[in-house]
């Protein structure tokens, strides 16, 4: 499997998952064991299996999943910025969202909640820092979980036996069939047969 075969599926799956995860309502599906991210890893593995003429191994599935997760984290973070700008226009900026998110974490102790609120919500400028910190966290979490999705995808979709290669064998030289025989070598006139 060359880099091109690995990179293209990872980019496609990563961008798709990143955009879906950044959307306000659809992104909440990640709360169920990172469903979007696992699905992204599986999608990347599926695309790799389809694109690669040789059988894709579990190790390659992990690689393509890891790459897809990293792409998804970057796209998610980058896509969150315009979404946040749009939400700010509607009175739902980063600070308000952080405040709502903190309220929705059920097990967070009240003193921690108050402290986080004073840092990230009341100090408005820190909203961007929070976004970037979340992005760094996503890079790790998405990468690891999507890697597992890649392995699941290969296990599910790779039907060829290990080491199988559907590419045609390399072309070798074959002489044309009806080629006339070569002429006999010229005889030396001084030599008596």
Partner 1 sequence: MPAGLIYLFFSPVCHQLPDRSFLLHGQPWAVCQRCSGIYGGLLIGSLVPGRRMRMPASPSRRRAWVLLFCGALATDAALSWLTGWPDSPLLRFVTGLLFGIMLAWLLVWGLAEWVAGRRPSVCAPDGSISSGGSR
One character per residue 66-85, x = contact with partner 1 (rule: CB under 8 A): --------------------
Number of residues that bind partner 1 (CB under 8 A): 42
Query: Smaller CB distance to partner 1: residue 14 or 41?
Result: 41
Measured between alpha carbons, how far is 106 from 109 in angstroms, rounded to an integer? 9
Interacting residues of 27 by C-beta distance below 8 A, sequence separation 6+: 20, 21, 36
Residue from 55, 21, 57, 51 nearest 39 by CA: 21
Q: Nearer to partner 1 by C-beta: 29 or 92?
A: 29
* End-to-end alpha carbon distance in the chain: 62
Candidate ranges 8-16, 54-62, 87-95, 120-128; the one touching partner 1 (CB under 8 A): 54-62
Report if residue 41 touches partner 1, rule: CB under 8 A.
no
- Under the binding rule (CB under 8 A), the answer on residue 57 touching partner 1 is yes
Task: Work out whether 106 is an interface residue with partner 1 (CB under 8 A).
Answer: yes
Binding segment toward partner 1, per CB under 8 A, in 87-95, 102-110, 124-132, 183-191: 102-110
Question: Binding partner 1 by CB under 8 A: which of 85, 112, 129, 136?
Answer: 112
- The answer to whether residue 63 forms part of the interface with partner 1 (CB under 8 A) is yes
The residue whose two tokens read 């820190």 is 126
Q: Does 172 bind partner 1 (CB under 8 A)?
A: no
Handedness of CA 119, 22, 25, 40 (dihedral sign): negative
Restricting to residues 20-39, which ones interact with partner 1 according to CB under 8 A?
A: 30-34
Q: How many CA atoms lie within 13 A of 151 on its CB side?
A: 9
Gyration radius (Cα) of the chain, Å: 29
Q: Using alpha carbons only, give the angle 68, 129, 88 rounded to the nearest 5 degrees.
A: 90
Binding mask 129-158 for partner 1 (x = CB under 8 A): -----x--xx--x---x-xx--xx-xxx-x
C-alpha distances (whole Å) from 6 to each of 51, 69, 73, 83, 129 are: 9, 13, 18, 30, 33
Binding residues (CB under 8 A) for partner 1: these are 30-34, 55, 57-63, 101, 105-109, 111-113, 115-116, 134, 137-138, 141, 145, 147-148, 151-152, 154-156, 158-163
């Amino acid at each position: 499997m060359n880099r091109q075969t690995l990179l293209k599926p990872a980019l496609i799956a990563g961008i798709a998952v990143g955009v879906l995860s950044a959307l306000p309502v659809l992104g909440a599906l990640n709360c169920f064991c990172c469903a979007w991210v696992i699905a992204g890893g599986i999608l990347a593995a599926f695309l790799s299996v389809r694109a690669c003429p040789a059988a894709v191994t579990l190790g390659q599935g992990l690689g393509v999943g890891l790459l897809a997760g990293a792409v998804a984290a970057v796209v998610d973070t980058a896509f969150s910025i315009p979404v946040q700008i749009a939400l700010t226009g509607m009175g739902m900026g980063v600070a308000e969202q952080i405040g709502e998110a903190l309220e929705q974490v059920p097990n967070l102790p009240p003193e921690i909640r108050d402290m986080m609120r004073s840092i990230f919500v009341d100090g408005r400028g820190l909203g961007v820092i929070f976004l970037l910190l979340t992005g760094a966290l996503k890079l790790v979490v998405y990468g690891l979980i999507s890697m597992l999705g890649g392995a699941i995808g290969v296990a599910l979709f790779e039907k060829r036996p290990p080491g199988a290669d559907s590419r045609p064998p390399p072309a070798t030289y074959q002489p044309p069939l009806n080629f006339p025989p070569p002429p006999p070598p010229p005889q030396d006139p001084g030599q008596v047969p």
